[in-house]
Structures are given as structure tokens and as C-alpha cells.
Copies of this chain bind each other. A is one copy, B any other.
Amino acid sequence: MKPQVLLYDTTLRDGTQGEGISLSVDDKLKIARKLDGLGIHYIEGGWPGSNPKDMEFFLKARELHLEHATITAFGSTRRAGIDVEEDDNLQKILDSGVKAVAIFGKTWDFHVLKALKTTLEENLNMIFESIQYLKRAGLEVIFDAEHFFDGYKHNPEYALEAVQKAQEAGADCIVLCDTNGGSMPHEIYDIVSHVVSKLSVMVGIHCHNDCELGVANSLAAVRAGARHVQGTINGYGERCGNANLISVIPNLQMKLNYSCVDESQLKNLITVSKYVHEIANQVPPNNQPFVGRSAFAHKGGMHVSAILKHPETYEHIPPESIGNKRRVLVSELSGQSNVLFKAKEWNVKLDKHDPQSRKILDKIKEQEHKGYQYEAAEASFELMVREGLGELKEFFQFDHFKIFIERDEADVLRTEAVVKLRVNGEVVHTVSEGNGPVNALDNALRKALEQYFPLIKKMYLSDYKVRVLDETDATASTVRVLIESSDGKEKWSTIGVSANIIEASWYALIDSVRYYLMKHEEEIEIVQSSKPEQRVGVVNH
């Protein structure tokens, strides 16, 4: 039997302390449902005593009917010098209707004297009475020993006395917090070992990432006997973030042989990570351990030829085990083997000794020099390769586009785009409005093509990203636009680069449509316009 470690997620509370992280009540409910699905044991929903939005969450969370997780409220020990019954923050916890609560209290003498401005004795009373009060109300009580490690380093007796007081009061779990994130893994290991030997209740750990050691410190604590780990999805949190549960879980379960979630749930780690990034409106870091797009991406030519033979030569775990997948990147650093690997994926016949393969590599270098990066735009890359091989059918010819944007005296904004192109000999000339220049251009282009290729109605742009390449030149610099498109089943990404954001967007838009038409060439029958005046010339809308 693997030892069980309980997971306590605080994405919804500590996570939202991170810069740029803001979640609505509805966002929080969605994330809670997802965390429950993953098998997280406790979901900290917020601090009912500090924020009316958090109280709303707890009221609505009752209707979630979670399968595994216990919704937990956060709060503090009572204020100094008052009765527990008078403490508004404790009262709000009871009002929130939760079955479990984490309350934090001070265990660092310096904080008691300087931040709380009360006596060491009164602080111990605050811890004891607050826990006792909540226990008597029937709650499961987790005590978060704030700044425990800093406290222990300065005054080990007082820090220990504080957590012993919490145990006496009936706390179900005592969580040692490295609140400022400044401790080293060996310190965490030594101090947790000592505390575990002194307490009889379950000990937990709460780490921050200020020294880039949030995950390592959490693992060290578990190896020292902690059996409850607090953290956040993707490591969101104040300053440099909290311990990242998305990394803590596979490390504990796949490397250190503890049990956290069902084995079958590990495959969902990547989905949960991406889902939370999406809801929190964060761009997922490519290099995020375990779940990032690049986590199993191979760029060096030598690595690529080795992983094609034996994946374990350059992969520490099988990417599929956590729902990720292997990728081979195409870039100027890559040998022929990467291009050949890609070509094989598309059933394109490229010969190692063929000068055409060499020519395509040269073209990649030239485009990369302009600012193109095909790593994230494989559809544009495939178009380029097939074009190089003379395999690409052109479904339409571009003539021109125009865009008009006006913001008038009444602050009303109007954006129109005109597109003129030729399909199968017919001239198509369309105009459309949009809520921005790229949207207007996209609308006009679709309007032009949909009548010939009704298929295009199925596709839509699912993501649009802009990157300024040479940021020192500000608005006069080169712009890289990445567009992700989808037809509800497949997704594909295209790229455009130009000094002009509109032109860069245009290249990526056009590539997206060309790629979709190429992939569905066999289904395409060009629809001839039925009205005679349209067949000979302009289709005007």
C-alpha cells in the first residue's frame, strides 16, 4: 500500500492573490467542479469574512454536489482581546455553511509582537479558543501555522508551543506554512521531521515559490512525514506563486511512490492545467513542467533521431501517462530528421538525399530570419512544404483589400473591410463590418469565399495572438500574428509576419483558409453562382 497524501487546493483563494489573476464566482464554481473531477481532497473556496464575493461562492457551491472534494473556507484566528463569539470573521465561516475550515494563526513571535501587536500569551489563547469554537460547531478544522518555518528558525520553542496549542484545541491537521517562500529544502525536511515527532495529529505543508523551490519544499516535507499538501493549480499565487500542484502530484505519485489521486486521473492533469489557465485567462507557459506544450518537445537534431528509436533516451516519463504528447520541432537548429519526421506525419514523401528536402530547409531559414516561427504554426509550415513540392492547389487568387476605421466626434467607432479576389475565374468583391480591423477582414473574406466553398462556414478562429518582435521599436516594429482555427473537430495554427499588424493578420487568415481547403480538397465542389450577373463579375454585399 502506497502512503496516502491529501491534496488541498487553494487556487480559488491564494491563487487569486497572484498578479493578474482574477476569478468571478462563476469561474470559481467551474474550477471547483474540475478539481473535484481530478480527485483533489479539499478545495479552499475563499475567505468569507473578507469578501462578499467569496460568501456568494460558498452559497452556490452547495449546489455543486461534488463527489470527492470537501469545500473549505479560509479564515483567521479571532482578533486579540475579544470573545470568539464576537469575532465577525469566525461568524462568517459558520454562516458560509462549510464542513471544513482552514484558519491561520501566528507562530512567529516577531509577527505576534510587531504585526498583530499583542502578547505571545494572548496569541496562544486566540489559536486555542478559535479552533475549539469551530470544532464545537462540528467543523473539521485545519490549522495553518503562518510563517512557521521563519518562526521556528527564530524561536523554536514558541513556534512549537503554538502548534501544540492547536493540537490541544482539537485541530484535525496542522499545516506548516513557509509563508514568505524563503526556506531551503533541507531546512524544511529537518523542521518537518522534528514537528512530526512532536505532534500526534496529521501534519501538512504550505509552500511558496519565491526561491523557485515551492515544489521541492513540498516534496521534502512529505518525505519528512507530512501527509497533507497545500498548493495551487499551475502555481498561481502571490509574488512568485504557491507550490504548483500540477507538478507536485506526478512527482509524489510517479516518482516518490505516494498515492494522491486515482492512477487513472493522472491522464487528466494536462486538461485540468489548461482549463484553469483558460478560465484564469493566463497564457500557458510552453515550458511548464509535465503539462507544457514543450515539455516533451524535441528540437536538437541528435535528440530527435534518438527518441525516434527509443523514447526513454530523452523522456523521463512517457508523455501520454499525464495526457501530454511528444512533439518534434521544426527550426533552424533542426537536422533533416525533424523535417522528415514531420513529413512522415503528413504522408508527404521526402527523400533524405533529395535536394528538395534541402531546399525546404533553406526556405525555413529564410522565413525564420524574417521572424516566422513554425513551431507554433504547423499548418503554415505544411502549406510551405507542400507548396515547395508543387503539391498545393490554389483555390482562389487575391486581388486587394482595403480597411476603413473611423472614430467620430460622438466617440462612435466604425470599421469596414473590402476584399476583392477571384475564384475559378469569377471576380468576388465583398465588404463587411467588424468590431476591429482583423475581424472585419475575416468577415469580408468569409463572405467572399463561403458562396463558393460552403465548407468554410464550419470553420472559425479560435485564438488570435499578437507578438511584437523587436519591442524596442514599439509601434514601428515587426509583428507576428498567430491564428488558431477550428471546425469544431480539428484545430490548426497559422502565422503571419509583417511590420504592419493588419498585413501579418491577413497572411495568417489566408493561410488558415488555404489549409482548411487543402485538407478537404476531396469534398470540395466549387459552387457556381446561380445568378448570371454574379457568374460574370462582382458579387456585392
Contacts and interface: CB of A to CB of B under 8 A. Distances in A.
Interface in A284-301: 285-290, 292-300
Interface in A328-359: 329, 331-333
Interface string A224-266: 0000000000010011110010010011000110000000000
Interface string A175-207: 000011110111000000000000000000000
A75 interface: no
A437 B213 contact: no
A404 B401 contact: no
Given A180-B314, A251-B184, A314-B179, A309 B219 contact: no
Contacts of A484: 474
Given A400-B406, A408-B400, A442-B475, A295 B437 contact: no
Contacts of A298: 238-239
A180 B404 contact: no
Contacts of A294: 18-19, 238-240
Contacts of A502: 405, 413, 415, 436-437
Interface in A430-470: 434-439, 442, 460-466, 468-470
Given A19-B286, A300-B17, A474 B500 contact: no
A499 interface: yes
A34 interface: no
A388 interface: no
Contact of A287 (B240, B289, B314): B240
7 closest A-B pairs (Cβ-Cβ)? A182-B316, A216-B216, A461-B474, A212-B247, A466-B466, A19-B294, A436-B500
B22 A316 contact: no
13 contacts: A18-B287, A19-B294, A19-B297, A51-B333, A186-B223, A212-B251, A216-B217, A238-B299, A240-B287, A402-B405, A407-B506, A413-B498, A439-B476
A536 interface: no
Contact of A501 (B185, B244, B285, B437): B437
A82 interface: no
Interface of A: 16-20, 22, 51, 110-111, 114-115, 147, 179-182, 184-186, 209-217, 219-220, 223, 235, 238-241, 244, 247, 250-251, 255-256, 278, 281, 285-290, 292-300, 303, 306, 309-310, 312-317, 329, 331-333, 368, 373, 375-376, 399-409, 413, 415, 434-439, 442, 460-466, 468-472, 474-477, 479, 483-484, 498-503, 505-506
Contacts of A498: 413
Contacts of A466: 466, 468, 501
A213 B216 contact: yes
Contact of A240 (B179, B255, B295, B332): B295
Contacts of A250: 211
Nearest to A419: B407
Nearest to A368: B22
A376 B180 CA distance: 23
A316 B310 CA distance: 44
Contacts of A20: 286, 373, 375-376
Given A114-B313, A406-B401, A434-B475, A184 B219 contact: yes
A270 to B, nearest CB: 14
Nearest to A53: B332
A216 B115 contact: no
Contacts of A329: 19
| Residue among A240, A297, A437 with most chain B CB within 10 A | A240
Given A179-B314, A503-B413, A405 B403 contact: yes
A109 to B, nearest CB: 12
A493 B436 CA distance: 23
Nearest to A116: B306
A354 to B, nearest CB: 22
B460 A464 contact: no
B468 A287 contact: no
A287 B406 contact: no
Contacts of A184: 219, 251, 255-256
A36 to B, nearest CB: 23
A315 B214 CA distance: 15
Contacts of A476: 434-436, 439
Contact of A211 (B17, B238, B285, B316): B316
Contacts of A299: 17-19, 238
